[in-house]
Amino acid sequence: MTSRRELANAVRALAMDAVEAAKSGHPGMPMGMADIAEVLWNDFLKYNPGNPKWPNRDRFVLSNGHGSMLQYALLHLTGFELPMAQLKRFRQLHSKTAGHPEASETPGVETTTGPLGQGLANSVGFALAEKLLAEHFNRPGHAIVDHHTFVFMGDGCLMEGVSHEVASLAGTWKLGKLVAIYDDNNISIDGEVEGWFTDDTPKRFEAYGWNVIRGVDGHDSEAVKKAIAAATAQHEKPTLICCKTIIGFGAPHKQGKEESHGAPLGKDEVAAARDALDWRHPPFEIPEDIYAAWDKKKVGAEREQQWNEAFAKYAAAYPELAAEFRRRMAGELPADWARQSQGYVDKVQADGPDVASRKASQMALDAFGPLLPEMIGGSADLAGSNLTMWKGSRSVTGPDGNYVHYGVREFGMSAIANGLALHGGFIPYDGTFLVFSDYARNAVRMSALIPAHSIHVYTHDSIGLGEDGPTHQPVEHLASLRLIPNNRVWRPCDAVESAVAWKEAIEHRRGPSCLIFSRQTLKHQQRTAQQLADIKRGAYVLHDPADTKFKAILIATGSEIELAMEAARTLAQQNVPVRVVSMPCNEVFDAQLLEYREGVLPGWCRARVAVEAASADFWRKYVGLDGEVIGMSTFGASAPAGALFEHFGFTVANVVDAVKRVTG
């Protein structure tokens, strides 16, 4: 009979061997948490290695993602499509075993982790998604949504401020199927944590409203099993299980020390650990009896089949709900979405409202929200300013909720939204002022890297917000967000572009979108049918001179489009014909075929001026060395918007002069 310790030692051995082969990695945490992981994955976690995306699986998140070999070893041993050859290529180019777990690369990995604390935040999103889906779809006798979210985390996760934000919300929302297991090993990279982490963690989580299980010996399998059983037996509160462990457990000279945290143990210490653990097998060799004890392919398939049979009964009783559940979990939009959403865009173009784009955003939500029950919104205590609530918004603390009041927690909000998106069944959007995207930026970066279908709404997009002054006026933020790979940043110029931006963000499933909206009113722009169709291509010709060839190109976004159009009219009167290009999303435009891009910004016209009330340097790649940029090179100031635009040079006269300079 294979013992629990032998099963855990298989994980330890694979972690040691893979890190040693790579000459890089973190063996300490996998060795320290192996006993806990063995109990969880063998006795509690509900999953099917043959179908990592089974809808009712438990979600497992490794928030302390530096210990990635723990998860890779578990996935390999239990039967996921992660062969030993991949473990041998740990941290190598194009392997499925990256230095930190990546959801896009490795079957069975639910979210990309590494930046500490964000895995915990994603887990809160997973647990909230489970709770809301269960409330919406389950019926008496038909619990088709019924699973837990388990997250491993360490001292570093708890030191990060985002852990405070999301743990507070998890307690407020009473996410009773969230179980966090704290690896309390007293070690971080700099050594023993007593000098910089003396929080009373159990009291802290009790204050958040969590169920806390203290003092569990993380190397006593029966104690761990008892704690997890107690956590999963109640659903009133999220649970924190505090497990005391020894980092690098089994490595006799380095266990309990920072030396085992983030570097290979070394050949001699690995050999000593094999002796100490009584693991008498060569590197990367697992005995068949241990493989057999770990294998979950058969039991996983049986669990999924049982759920499939239960779902079939549910579908017979509630066919419309079942069809809706399948559609949402598959990430498919409603059958009539394309027609109805385009109909709204056409209507806005015909109506031609002059509104702030933040109001245009709310109008789009009022139109699209009823079509998309999977939409779940929220704001970091700025709903009345961001206008992220629409007519059908209902708080998640009430029945059938679809709106989250996150409080002043921008980072936690965005990371939770990523979890909602990754769980499936939801399209999340969140909101704050653009200047406060700084607080959220790492979660936005992660939504692009994962990738997660999150929509980040940022209002008060420039110095145009006025009197609040430079602390609230974004300058570098647009450029910063645009620099994130795979992140679509839309800054629309009117209600029509705002509607298209929302439509495109909803349809774009391969990553996040940032929608940037104004506080001030923006003038409606007239368009032909072709111009309307070309908005979704990221940039298009909004204006060309009627009967003559243009001499220069004006490129603008957002509120500066109106300025560019006025300048074009003035220049026309002075016999300087110009083209005006609206570029609401440069990333989408850059992905267009060369023929289209050349049609909008032809290479022969080197006389170009870009106008945007934001950092100027971003636009150099579009205007070239011969062009000019009217933008910001300083912080803003506290004054009415009109005075600020004039003070910083966003005037018709300044644009006209710039065009004349580039045209010689």
pLDDT in tens, 228-283: 999 999 999 999 999 999 999 999 999 999 999 999 999 999 999 999 999 999 99
> Using an 8 Å Cβ cutoff, are 14 and 69 in contact?
yes
CATH topology of domain 535-663: Rossmann fold (3.40.50)
**Is 4-301 CATH 3.40.50.970?**
yes
Q: What is the pLDDT of residues 314-350, one digit of tens each?
A: 999 999 999 999 999 999 999 999 999 999 999 999 9
pLDDT in tens, 444-477: 999 999 999 999 999 999 999 999 999 999 999 9
Band (380; pLDDT cuts 50, 70, 90) = very high
pLDDT digits (tens, 9 = 90+) for 540-577: 999 999 989 999 999 999 999 999 999 999 999 999 99
Binding residues: 26, 66, 114-116, 155-156, 185, 187, 261, 358, 385, 436, 460, 468, 472, 519
pLDDT for 645 equals 97
DSSP SS3 for 209: coil
| pLDDT interval class at 505 (50, 70, 90) | very high
- The whole-angstrom separation of Cα 640 and Cα 168 is 38
The active-site residue, picked from 110, 130, 410, 612, is: 410
336-522 shares its CATH topology with 535-663:
yes
Instruction: Read off the pLDDT of residues 382-422 as tens digits, 9 standing for 90 and up.
Output: 999 999 999 999 999 999 999 999 999 999 999 999 999 99
- Identify whether the C-beta of residue 396 lies closer than 8 Å to the C-beta of residue 404: yes
Whether residue 102 lies in the annotated active site: no
Banded pLDDT at 119 (limits 50, 70, 90): very high
* Cα 595-597-599 angle, rounded to 5 deg: 70
- C-alpha 120/C-alpha 162 separation (Å) is 9
Q: What is the pLDDT of residues 506-529, one digit of tens each?
A: 999 999 999 999 999 999 999 999
Q: Which residues pair with 243 in a beta bridge?
A: 183, 216
Phi, psi torsion values for 406, nearest 5 degrees: -80, -15
Query: Which amino acids are annotated as binding site for thiamine diphosphate, given as ranges?
Result: 66, 114-116, 156, 185, 261, 436
**Tens digit of each residue's pLDDT (9 = 90 or more) over 120-157:** 999 999 999 999 999 999 999 999 999 999 999 999 99
Q: Which residues are annotated as a binding site for substrate?
A: 26, 261, 358, 385, 460, 468, 472, 519
Question: What dihedral do alpha carbons 479, 480, 485, 487 form, nearest 10°?
Answer: -80
What secondary structure letter does DSSP report for 634? Answer: S
Percent of the chain with pLDDT over 70: 100
Nearest to 413 by CA among 102, 182, 168: 168
Q: How confident is the model at residue 664 (pLDDT cuts 50, 70, 90)?
A: confident
Which tens digit of pLDDT belongs to each residue from 20-55? Answer: 999 999 999 999 999 999 999 999 999 999 999 999
Domain residue spans of the chain: 4-301, 336-522, 535-663
Rounded CA gap, 593 and 589, in Å? Answer: 9
The pair of three-digit structure tokens given for residue 483, joined into one six-digit string: 């620099």
Over the chain, what is the mean pLDDT? 98
pTM over 0.85: yes
pLDDT value of position 1: 80
> Whole-angstrom Cα distance, residue 178 to residue 188?
25
- Nearest C-alpha neighbor of 521 from the set 642, 427, 395, 630: 642
- Percent of the chain residues topping a pLDDT of 90: 99
What's the CATH architecture for 336-522?
3-Layer(aba) Sandwich (3.40)
